[in-house]
Amino acid sequence: MSHIPHLINGERVAGTGRTAPVFNPSTGDSTAAVGLADRATLQLAIDAAKAAFPAWRNTPAAKRAQIMFRFKQLLEQNENEIAALISAEHGKTIEDAIGELKRGIENVEFACAAPEILKGEYSRNVGPNIDAWTDLQPVGVVAGITPFNFPAMVPLWMYPLAIVCGNCFILKPSERDPSSTLFIAELLNQAGLPKGVLNVVNGDKDAVDGLIEAPEVKALSFVGSTPIAEYIYSEGTKRGKRVQALGGAKNHAVLMPDADLDNAVSALMGAAYGSCGERCMAISVAVCVGDQIADALVEKIVPQIQALKIGAGTSCGLDMGPLVTAAARDKVKGYIDAGVAQGAKLVVDGRDLVVPGNENGFFVGGTLFDQVTPDMTIYTDEIFGPVLCIVRVGSLEQAMQLINDHEYGNGTCIFTRDGEAARLFCDEIEVGMVGVNVPLPVPVSYHSFGGWKRSLFGDLHAYGPDGVRFYTRKKAITQRWPARKSHEAAQFAFPSNG
């Protein structure tokens, strides 16, 4: 069995002590062991980042960008190997893994614009012989804690931008599928990144707490569940750190009576069942405005759910692979049990799916509930599995109230041909990312990603312009060079340019 190491100061470090098994979700076999860092190992990474920071912060932005250009090229050249690593440890299909990587590369492309995005503002003669400008300076040693469901993309949301802004970075990836994350980080070192600027430390809660407690770590980025996001935000901010912590979601798709139903069904299939529903932007609730559209949706979508091609994620041409762990599979099945017990109508049941040749894999088939009500746990909770719930309401206003009342506000969408309805929805819905006839409204890299309510803790969203703001500190500088041989008396009133 192979051992997955840490990456500290540009070198692989085996680490000592505790390990965790890494599984192939398609077979159920344990394929590797990953070391779980103790505080001493974590401190090695912190020390390496701290030592690298003075030289890196003074490296010209254009030179940092050149490294990112080479990194982007290496990512594209190694696309197939990265996708295979993702699929082998996460379970998502090869095609889905490639799509994940491509979205991550978009963020590297944005980071390549470092000379442009780090330009400050300048004003000449704000007063007599006085000029003023702002300077975007790096925060220092920063850290990211990333989830299992996007082992390539979510880290690429964070460290490329943090690094081109002049920071040094410590990444704590998910211990469930760390191999692709480590491989990608090594590609950045191959691109010419100096030692210590990026460090990867595998671990569990002990490593997370170490990053929170370390005074050298000035900022924390996190993506994961809401309870952990709230914990990291609370513990980090009370220690004076910057924190952006992205949490859970319960994303609704509203189907209006005038929706293009064929296209809406195709969109829902991908949004609900793609990546086995293990996406924070997955659509897990279809809110149908009127029984007519709900009945038509059920009629059209059931055959497509039953026809899903499900198998080992490492195979090509599939729609869906397994869930990431046996515990995740059992949790999803438990939610389906609860939905039945609480009175929802189970239209398609994925609990008994068996994949020939992969009988021990962590599979759950596509599942559909109808007649779901807001008091049911399959509605209130983030299931994080291939389960779509249909809720029936009488009006757009009722649909919007349903969404606005939910504790999460990550993503939502509306399917309609009515521009007035779409505009009202976009204006009044209390959700951070909204799609109109777009089921997964994930912003492109030059915008920013983040939800509202209990889907985000912190003032700034991830990547894009907000990412630049998060990973830099703005310094305002006012400078005066008096004319020679001039002398002014002391001024005791508060200065102004009046």
Provide the pLDDT for residue 498.
59
pLDDT per residue as tens digits for the range 91-112: 999 999 999 999 999 999 999 9
pLDDT tens digits for range 439-489: 999 999 999 999 999 999 999 999 999 999 999 999 999 999 887 776 777
Q: What is the pLDDT of residue 493?
A: 78
User: What integer pLDDT is reported at residue 269 of this predicted model?
Assistant: 97
- Report how far residue 61's alpha carbon sits from residue 112's, in angstroms, rounded to the nearest whole number: 9
- Summarize the confidence of residues 305-333 as an average pLDDT: 94
User: In terms of C-beta distances under 8 Å and separation of at least 24 residues, what long-range contacts does 44-47 make, across chains too?
Assistant: 44/8, 44/9, 44/13, 45/6, 45/8, 45/9, 45/170, 45/199, 45/201, 46/141, 46/170, 46/214, 46/216, 46/217
Whether 316 sits among the annotated catalytic residues: the reply is: no
Decide if 31 contacts 23 (C-beta within 8 A): yes
The terminus-to-terminus CA distance of the chain in angstroms comes to 74
Domains of the chain: 2-247+455-477 (3.40.605.10), 251-436 (3.40.309.10)
The pLDDT, as a whole number, for residue 468 is 97
Percent share of the chain, pLDDT over 90? 93
Residue 392: helix, strand or coil by DSSP?
Answer: strand
CA distances from 310 to 81, 221, 299, 321 (A): 22, 34, 21, 6
The pLDDT value given to residue 41: 96
Would you place residue 400 in the very low, low, confident or very high pLDDT band (cuts 50, 70, 90)? very high
Query: What's the rounded mean pLDDT across residues 282-303?
Result: 98
For the chain, give the longest Cα–Cα distance: 91
Residue 128's pLDDT band, with cuts at 50, 70 and 90, is confident
Give the model's pLDDT for residue 356.
93
Active-site residue identified among 112, 165, 276, 280: 280
CA neighbor of 212 nearest in space, from 137, 145, 158, 140: 145
Q: Please say whether the dihedral angle defined by the alpha carbons of residues 444, 448, 449 and 451, taken in this order, is positive or negative.
A: negative
Average pLDDT over residues 235-253: 97
The mean predicted confidence, pLDDT, of the chain is: 96
Mean pLDDT along residues 487-492: 76
Mean pLDDT of all residues in 248-259: 97
496 pLDDT above the threshold of 80: no
Mean of pLDDT values over 206-218: 98
* pLDDT over 80 at 168, yes or no: yes
pLDDT at 495: 73
User: DSSP readout, 128-177?
Assistant: TTEEEEEEEEE-SEEEEE--SS-TTHHHHHHHHHHHHTT-EEEEE--TTS
Q: Count the alpha carbons within 13 Å of 175 in the hemisphere toward its beta carbon.
A: 18
Mean pLDDT of the region 155-173: 98
User: 256-269, pLDDT tens digit by residue?
Assistant: 999 999 999 999 99
pLDDT of residue 315: 81
222-239 average pLDDT score: 97
pLDDT of residue 497: 64
> Do the strands 6-8 and 11-13 form a parallel or antiparallel pair, or are they unpaired?
antiparallel
Question: Residue 303: helix, strand or coil by DSSP?
Answer: helix
